[in-house]
Amino acid sequence: MKLTIIGTGYVGLVTGICFAETGNTVTCLDINMEKISFLKNGICPIYEPGLENLLHRNIKEERIFFTTDLNSAVRDADVIFLALPTPPGADGAADLAHIMSVAASLSNVITDYKIIVNKSTVPVGTAEKVMKILSKKLPRELFDVVSNPEFLREGVALEDFLKPDRVVIGTHSEKVKEVMTSLYQPFVRQGNPIYFMDIRSAEMTKYAANSFLALKISFMNEVANLCEKTNANVDMVRIGIGSDERIGKRFLFPGIGYGGSCFPKDVLALHQTAKEHAYDFKLLKSVLEVNKQQKLLLFHKVYDHFNGKLKGRRLAIWGLSFKPETDDIRDAPSIDIIEKLLQAGAIIRVYDPEAMKNLSARFGNVIEYAVNQYGALEDADALLIITEWSEFRNPDFDKISALLHSKTIFDGRNIYDSDKMDELGFHYESIGRKT
Ligand code: UGA
């Protein structure tokens, strides 16, 4: 099939490359000329394990093409995917400006039947708005609009796309169902379902999924906070509850709050949708509040430990991205923590395997950047672990002891065993476990 993907961000690129991988001819379109010229040369603008290899292969096999020209990208396409950003607007609701402007442009260039699939995360009712814009210039039989939310996690996006738990498609058209089934069939051969539903339910499914996961994490974060007060151990509690299939083992890891480009934005947007419909979604309000509080938990632990005396104190930070295997620092707890530490007068040296460039674009030379994880430690009064990259899990503790000025670790991701840290003589504070 001939597919066009509009938007070569994270979702668009993964979608385009994976559909090319199953033999479709894919054209990826973006207004950013620099990005398109990088991609034409096989350079991936985002860090996502495995993606650049697949990009090279599909460029070589002439299954994927990149362009900035809407006309030519749309002309031969059977299916057009919209993978455009929907950032939060001033009130928290998703800003649909990109989607609406592309819909208007499409209405000027479409001349034969197209299926327009929305992959962006958009509030309930957006597909209807897109249809309305298209209908201004096009007869109804020239297009169908479909909702097909994506459930990719950064860092494991290829695996999530190539072997999805489920595919959700919002459409009433039998013709569309057939086309979408043949597109996704190669990815669900093990029997995972393709769920067809009405468009509004598909749009809501995406927000409900992300908000529920954010709620699950926030619930565990609060349980962890209470464990600290009651001298229980959240690791044990997590195992104890997770083996109940109704609860499930995944997404129960407490930490210093969720971040990234999805959960924060989507919880806020669903909260806003509820408000627009005069519904008081109390749980979502709490999730937003709990996460805000949790993102500063590590700062408060450091502050209390040093009795508020952070002025001139040197601190080392390992991990900046909102989670491992990505260079993404959007809404990452590292930003909130660093800002608070700087305000309190601390001197900060950071290390992250992938996210240093993004962080330096934000903080510049107000903080120091180490060339490797141990380089961050010299003469520091404490080490703060903010992201659980694998390389931090089994470090050389002798080296850490020798480099740190005082043997103190604040671990926001519970990656070390408390008893072992005790034996090694560290002052070790983590989340929801005894100090
Ligand atoms: C999330 C969803 O997991 C995807 O299903 C969805 O498609 C995607 O958003 C999206 O809407 O595009 P992602 O933002 O890549 O994916 O990251 P996650 O792996 O879900 O992690 C999100 C945050 O939750 C991270 O900050 C992570 O540290 C935190 N988290 C996750 C916890 O604190 N505890 C956990 O047990 C799991």
Number of domains observed in the structure of the chain: 3
Please report whether residue 435 resides in a domain: no
Exposed e or buried b for every residue in 265-285, given b needs 16+ CB within 10 A?
A: bbbbbbbbbebeeeeebeebe
Same domain membership, residue 7 and residue 140: yes
* pLDDT score recorded for residue 396: 98
- CATH, residue 110: 3.40.50.720
β-strand partners of 64: 26
Same domain membership, residue 117 and residue 24: yes
Same domain membership, residue 50 and residue 173: yes
- CATH, residue 234: 1.10.1040.10
pLDDT tens readout for residues 19-50: 999 999 999 999 999 999 999 999 999 889 99
Could you tell me the two tokens for 57?
Answer: 């292969």
**Last residue of a domain, which of 268, 293, 318?**
293
Helix or strand run (H / E) with residue 205: helix 199-230
Query: Could you tell me the distance, in angstroms and rounded to a whole number, from the CA of residue 75 to the centre of ligand 1?
Result: 37
Same domain membership, residue 102 and residue 46: yes
Higher pLDDT, 191 or 278: 278
Q: Give the C-alpha separation, 42 to 326, whole Å.
A: 19
Same domain membership, residue 190 and residue 214: no
β-strand partners of 350: 317, 369
Same domain membership, residue 179 and residue 80: yes
Residue 297: partners with Cβ closer than 8 Å, 6 or more residues away: 225, 256, 257, 412, 431
161-165: average pLDDT: 96
Query: Domain range for residue 314?
Result: 295-429
Q: Residue 254, annotated ligand binder? A: yes
Same domain membership, residue 183 and residue 125: yes
Residue 260: pLDDT over 80:
yes
Q: Give the C-alpha separation, 100 to 236, whole Å.
A: 49
* pLDDT score recorded for residue 434: 77
**Last residue of a domain, which of 156, 175, 197?**
197
Mutate to test the pocket of ligand 1, among 10, 212, 213 (most ligand atoms within 8 A of CB): 213
Q: 18, 28, 227, 262: which one is catalytic?
A: 262
**Last residue of a domain, which of 293, 324, 341?**
293
pLDDT tens readout for residues 312-325: 999 999 999 999 99
* pLDDT score recorded for residue 47: 86
Please report whether residue 434 resides in a domain: no
Residue 243: pLDDT over 90:
yes
Q: Residue 251, annotated ligand binder? A: yes
